[in-house]
Amino acid sequence: MADSDGRSGGRAPGGDGVGRGARRGHVAPLLRPGLGSLPKQLGNNDPGAPGTHLTGARAGRHDCFDRMVIDLTGPASGYRVEYVPQVTADGSGNPIPLRGGAFLSIVLAATAYDANGQPTYTPASRSEAVNVAGYTTFRQVAFAGSFEGLTTFGLGVRAKLPFRVTVLAGPGGGSRVIVDVSHRWV
């Protein structure tokens, strides 16, 4: 049965309901599970599995949320994502300045360097690790560093809005940690 906009179930033909094909003002059903502003955690954030390294970070815009994706070479063994008053740099504890009305600390149980200490992730700018200019909710992504088996990103958002964290396997033996932040409270 088609909705008034001619789409079936609010999805674009062939769409999954979470991207640009979702109806305006409609929160895609796939965004709701796990959505809220409380901390999200997998594991106990002990240092990551040997050989699991961060290799990339990127962001995408969707009708109902902004998304950050962090690429790992192995399984995601742990993370903690939470709103904090100030994101701090790994190792030093120095504050990381971020634009926005609220700040998410994203801590991963993975390193941004290999067993020889060589970097596996080097953003062009640590303070602007991912370009989020023009995004609805994201204001800034900063790479806070990697120390003793943990890697931290700071995500500045416009307000303390609901978010969720998911992990997807692949490509290959790698995985992706995904942080979706809703554009509004639902």
- Residue 170: give its domain's CATH number: 2.60.40.3500
| 82 in the same domain as 166 | yes
pLDDT at 6 over 80: no
Question: Quick one: 24 and 58 in the same domain?
Answer: no
| Same domain as 127, residue 92 | yes
Tell me the per-residue pLDDT of 142-163, one tens digit each, with 9 for 90 and over. Answer: 999 999 889 999 999 999 999 9
- pLDDT tops 90 at residue 4: no
- 67 in the same domain as 108: yes
The confidence band for 45, taking pLDDT boundaries of 50, 70 and 90, is: low
Higher pLDDT, 21 or 68: 68
Task: Tell me: do 118 and 155 sit in the same domain.
Answer: yes
State pTM to two decimals.
0.81
The dihedral over CA atoms of 73, 74, 75, 76, expressed in degrees to the nearest 10, equals -40
Backbone angles phi, psi at 30, to 5 degrees: -70, -15
Is 156 found in the same domain as 70? yes
Express as a percent the part of the chain with pLDDT over 70.
78
The pLDDT, as a whole number, for residue 26 is 41
Banded pLDDT at 46 (limits 50, 70, 90):
low
Domain around 160: 39-182
Mean pLDDT on 131-139: 97
**What's CA 104's distance to the chain center, in Å?**
9
Whether residue 139 has pLDDT greater than 70: yes
Shared-domain flag, residues 11 and 70: no
Q: Is 24 found in the same domain as 106? A: no
Give the model's pLDDT for residue 32. 56
**Rounded CA separation 96/98 (Å):** 6
Computed on alpha carbons and rounded to an integer, the radius of gyration of the chain in Å comes to: 17
Is residue 149 located within the same domain as residue 64?
A: yes
Between 1 and 80, name the one with better pLDDT.
Answer: 80
**Same domain assignment for residues 10 and 96:** no
Does 152 lie in the same domain as 64?
Answer: yes
Task: Tell me the average pLDDT of the chain.
Answer: 83
Q: Are residues 58 and 114 in the same domain?
A: yes
Domains contained in the chain, number: 2
Please list, in sequence order, all residues whose beta carbon lies within 8 angstroms of the beta carbon of residue 37, skipping any fewer than 6 positions away: 83, 160, 161, 162, 163
